[in-house]
Structure 1
Amino acid sequence: MDIDSLDILSCRITVGDPDPGNPIVIRNGIELTEVQQVRITESYKKLIGTARVTFPKGTVYKSTIIGPATLEGVDARRITTEVMQDGVLIEKRSGQAALDDKTFKVGQRINIKLGYNGALKNMFDGYVTAYNSDSRFELECENMAYKLKLKTAPKFETPVEGTKVNDVLGEKYGLLKDTGFALHSDTRRFDIEVGKIKITDNFTVADVLSAWSRHRVYCFLKYDAQSSDTMPAIAVGRPYSSSPSQPQFPSDGTGPFVIRFDRHVAENDLKVLRTDPRFLAVQAKALGTDEKFFEVTVRLNPDYDPSDPASKEFQTVNATQISRKTHKLTGNTTAAGADTRTKADLSTYTVVPYTSTNMRITSDQLVEEAIEYFRSYNLNGITGHLTIFGDHALAPACQVELRDERNPSKNGVYLVEEVTTTFGTNGYRQTLTLPYKIKGAKTTYGDGKR
């Protein structure tokens, strides 16, 4: 009688001291293969990803003790000797012990590998930032970008125009110098413009990179397939809704991962939305030369008459005044509607944010960009979350292709914004947030043709 093999959940969690010469290396580590729950949350909108690891009382770990003495309470089952380069003879003792309140320390490195039947995938590298040893052992962790919170950014100021990510994070301004991080190869190829950068106070590198998200330029960690370095790289990208003239997110080169609802999906609360274009508004922002934002909002003109050449298709509402400094430097004019004190109530509209990448843009140009984005906005999208089985080890900013034969309106390629990975007594799952449809499905998938 044949017995089908069972898929058994497996994990390997290593905690130890960071190597000063190579942050990805863990020294004097202990290894744990039992856990109550792991929860990892990472998003391309946040530089710092987090993990929470919970161990039950009585959890046993493996360790290797280097030195001449046996530590109290450690069962030294195996002893080996090794001659160091300086001729000193040391002993290595492999043993086991139970977790206690002295096992972990804040600042230690942690690596989490998860999978089935011992086929483990690397899911998290970071540092222990807090731990609780009361009723159960619970570790709170941040990913490798934690190091950037400990590095003061150099003080510099860039020109208003022409400043690129490659300059700021490369050798010209050296924001990543001595951090151990490199710029992702796709980001170098994109050569994204970020406008003026001014660092005159005591900011950390993490402060600077996180602040870019206000301009919808997102910095996050991503492993670089083009690099032999095991450290994750700093990836920079703009969402697909930001500007059609700007490049997109770094790719892992494998193409979209296909998610079939009849095979990969554990549960979902997705809702297919169809937005009425008559009640869509684009709220556009831009940064003036005085380093202050101004904005305009565009919507369809309800009285638009295509047969009348004087009739305008779009209305401009809720515009803000241009500062005198910006007006003096650029000759910028204030958009229509800025002098109106009564603001249009858009509470019943679908309001979509947009940020211009042009650092010397005029109000009229901002209106043109907002209209261009309005025309290209995908009115049919989805909201909610999708939970799949965790063995696919997906990461933020990857692309997934949804295939649902029962509800084909969802079908298409999406950009994954956030991934929450859970592992433990309730199984192994990944919950995906999918806000952007890159393209819709053009074929019927039942015939296997693309």
Structure 2
Amino acid sequence: MDIGSMDVLCCKITIGDADPDKPILIKNPIVITEVEEIEINESYKELIGTAKVKFPKGTVFQSTILGAVTLEGKDATRITTEVMQDGVIIEKRSTQTAVKEITFKVGQRLNIKLGYNGILKNMFDGYITTYNSDNYFELECENMAYKLKLKQASKFETPNIGTKVNDVLGDKYGLLKDTGFAIHSDTKKFDIQIGKIKITDNFTVADILNDWSKYKVYCFLKYDVNSPDEMPTIAVGRPYSSSKNQPVFPNDVSGPYKIFFNYHVAASDLKVLKTDPKFLAVTGKALGSDEKFFEVTVRLNPEYDATDKNSKEFQTINATQVSKKTHKKTGNKTAKGADTKTKVDLSTYTIVPYMSPNMRINSDKLVEETIEYFKNYNLNGITGSITIFGDFGLTTAVQVELIDDRNPSKNGVYLSDEVTTTFGVNGYRQKMTLPYKIKGNTKKYGN
């Protein structure tokens, strides 16, 4: 009788001291290859990703003992050594020791690699932030962006006109100077603008990057194939809700990853939603010339008559009133729909957010962009998440292609949002939320 092959879970957890000159390196490392549970959480909406690692009592780790001995009286052929220029031999001996309360400490570097059958993929690099050694050993960690919470941002002010992300993170303003981080190579290709930046207080670099999320400009860590030192880079992107066509995110050279429901998916709570355009509303938001946000909401006009040239296809409702002072200073017209304080009840509508990528626009321009977004919005989307096996080792902000022959309505290319990776006695799984369908797919795949 033939016995099918069995995939064996493998992990390699390396823990040691941080190298001050090259943070990606781990000095004096110990290696652990057995674990009870690992959970890694990351999202492109959060700069700081987290990981929890739980070890049972009695876990054994491997380390390398270094010692200096002279040549005299030593049989150098029986040990692994390195001969220095001054005739000193550095011994390298491997040893195995049980984990103790003093094995770990806060501030140490940690690297997690996961996979099957000895083929491992790098899944997390970061620092230990909390250590619990009560009933079991549990480490709480933050990714490499933890360093940015400890770096004071230099004080500077940008002009009133739209400031580019590349200028802030690059040489012009040097927000990332001396942090050890660089901009992702794909981010450099984008022309992403951010509002006026004025740093006059004691903010960290992490504070500044996290603050950009209110403009729907998200900063997160991503490994770059063009980065020679394997240090994760600062990637910047805009989601579908701030782009008229497709989201702006660094590409992944291996994507989109094809996920077949009958093979890769362990569990799914996806729901296919078909939205009636008559009960769809889009709320557009923008940063005005006064450095304050304002918004408008558009919906289809229920009494629209295509044969009447004076009939308007869309209605503007629940708009934010622009102040007279701002109107006088900038000429920013008050959007229609802001003339009354009465709010339209949209509890029976599907409300979709839109964030304008253009800074300091007026209300009329925001209405135009919001209507255009409404026209291009995909009414047949999905909500929920899928849980797949650890075949791919996916990260946030990568493209995945769903392929389901039994329910092809969900087929298409999506952008992964939040990714939760679990590894341990219950297997290797990745749970992903997929809120944005980038494009549909009518192609049929055979078995």
CA–CA distance in structure 2, aligned partners of residues 405 and 247 of structure 1: 26
Quote the residue 2:173 is aligned against: 173
Q: Any conservation in 2 of the 1:159–1:195 contact (CA below 8 Å)? A: no
DSSP-derived class of the 1:147 partner: helix
CA–CA distance in structure 2, aligned partners of residues 344 and 363 of structure 1: 19
Which has the higher mean CA deviation after the structures are superposed, 322-331 or 377-386? Answer: 322-331
Quote the residue 1:404 is aligned against: 404
Cα gap change, 1:107 to 1:249, in 2 (>3 Å): same
Letter matched to residue 130 of structure 1: T
Which has the higher mean CA deviation after the structures are superposed, 190-199 or 294-303? Answer: 190-199
Letter matched to residue 419 of structure 2: V
1:145 has 2:153 as partner = no
Q: Any conservation in 2 of the 1:192–1:246 contact (CA below 8 Å)? A: no
Q: Deviations over 1:304-347 (max 9, x none)?
A: 12122222111111111213443233111111222312211112
Quote the residue 2:259 is aligned against: 259
1:305 has 2:305 as partner = yes
What is the Cα deviation at residue 48 of structure 1? 0.7
Letter matched to residue 439 of structure 1: K
1:208 has 2:208 as partner = yes
Quote the residue 1:347 is aligned against: 347
CA–CA distance in structure 2, aligned partners of residues 270 and 46 of structure 1: 23
Which has the higher mean CA deviation after the structures are superposed, 324-333 or 37-46? Answer: 324-333
DSSP-derived class of the 2:365 partner: helix
Which has the higher mean CA deviation after the structures are superposed, 57-66 or 403-412? Answer: 57-66
Cα gap change, 1:14 to 1:349, in 2 (>3 Å): same
Quote the residue 1:377 is aligned against: 377
Q: Any conservation in 1 of the 2:239–2:247 contact (CA below 8 Å)? A: no
CA–CA distance in structure 2, aligned partners of residues 310 and 98 of structure 1: 80
Letter matched to residue 394 of structure 1: L
CA–CA distance in structure 2, aligned partners of residues 157 and 346 of structure 1: 40
CA–CA distance in structure 2, aligned partners of residues 87 and 371 of structure 1: 77
Q: Deviations over 1:327-376 (max 9, x none)?
A: 23311111122231221111221111111122221111111111111111
Quote the residue 2:189 is aligned against: 189
What is the Cα deviation at residue 254 of structure 1? 2.5
Q: Any conservation in 2 of the 1:192–1:247 contact (CA below 8 Å)? A: no
Which has the higher mean CA deviation after the structures are superposed, 101-110 or 3-12? Answer: 3-12
Quote the residue 1:54 is aligned against: 54
What is the Cα deviation at residue 377 of structure 1? 0.7
Q: Any conservation in 1 of the 2:193–2:359 contact (CA below 8 Å)? A: no
Q: Deviations over 1:275-294 (max 9, x none)?
A: 11111111111112221111
CA–CA distance in structure 1, aligned partners of residues 230 and 419 of structure 2: 21
What is the Cα deviation at residue 266 of structure 1? 0.8
What is the Cα deviation at residue 67 of structure 1? 4.3
CA–CA distance in structure 2, aligned partners of residues 133 and 86 of structure 1: 44
Q: Any conservation in 2 of the 1:153–1:203 contact (CA below 8 Å)? A: yes
Q: Deviations over 1:147-185 (max 9, x none)?
A: 111111111111222411110100000011011111011
Quote the residue 2:219 is aligned against: 219
Letter matched to residue 217 of structure 1: V
CA–CA distance in structure 1, aligned partners of residues 390 and 293 of structure 2: 42
CA–CA distance in structure 1, aligned partners of residues 401 and 243 of structure 2: 22
1:419 has 2:423 as partner = no
Which has the higher mean CA deviation after the structures are superposed, 237-246 or 325-334? Answer: 237-246
Unaligned runs of 5+ in 1: 70-77
1:26 has 2:23 as partner = no
Q: Any conservation in 2 of the 1:282–1:298 contact (CA below 8 Å)? A: yes
**What are the equivalent positions in structure 2 for 1:218-367 lying under 5 Å apart?**
218-244=218-244, 248-367=248-367
CA–CA distance in structure 2, aligned partners of residues 86 and 161 of structure 1: 62
CA–CA distance in structure 2, aligned partners of residues 150 and 261 of structure 1: 43
Letter matched to residue 32 of structure 2: L
CA–CA distance in structure 1, aligned partners of residues 180 and 155 of structure 2: 19
TM norm structure 1:
0.93
Quote the residue 2:434 is aligned against: 434
Cα gap change, 1:246 to 1:427, in 2 (>3 Å): closer
Cα gap change, 1:247 to 1:427, in 2 (>3 Å): closer
Letter matched to residue 35 of structure 1: V
Which has the higher mean CA deviation after the structures are superposed, 99-108 or 236-245? Answer: 236-245
Q: Any conservation in 2 of the 1:241–1:377 contact (CA below 8 Å)? A: no
Q: Any conservation in 2 of the 1:190–1:247 contact (CA below 8 Å)? A: no
Q: Deviations over 1:181-230 (max 9, x none)?
A: 11011100112122322211111111111111111111111111223230
TM norm structure 2:
0.94
CA–CA distance in structure 2, aligned partners of residues 46 and 375 of structure 1: 30
CA–CA distance in structure 2, aligned partners of residues 418 and 193 of structure 1: 24
What is the Cα deviation at residue 101 of structure 1? 1.4
CA–CA distance in structure 2, aligned partners of residues 234 and 372 of structure 1: 31
Between the two proteins, the alignment pairs up a number of residues equal to 439
Letter matched to residue 405 of structure 1: D
CA–CA distance in structure 2, aligned partners of residues 245 and 195 of structure 1: 22
Q: Any conservation in 2 of the 1:79–1:94 contact (CA below 8 Å)? A: no
CA–CA distance in structure 2, aligned partners of residues 309 and 386 of structure 1: 47
DSSP-derived class of the 1:295 partner: strand
DSSP-derived class of the 2:194 partner: coil
Q: Any conservation in 2 of the 1:330–1:360 contact (CA below 8 Å)? A: no
Quote the residue 1:72 is aligned against: none
DSSP-derived class of the 1:392 partner: coil
1:40 has 2:40 as partner = yes
Q: Any conservation in 2 of the 1:55–1:138 contact (CA below 8 Å)? A: yes
Q: Deviations over 1:47-105 (max 9, x none)?
A: 11111101011111111233469xxxxxxxx9655445676654444212111211111
CA–CA distance in structure 1, aligned partners of residues 323 and 89 of structure 2: 73
Query: Identity of paired residues, percent?
Result: 73
Cα gap change, 1:380 to 1:246, in 2 (>3 Å): closer
Unaligned runs of 5+ in 2: 70-77
DSSP-derived class of the 1:191 partner: coil
DSSP-derived class of the 1:439 partner: strand
Letter matched to residue 434 of structure 1: L
Quote the residue 2:72 is aligned against: none
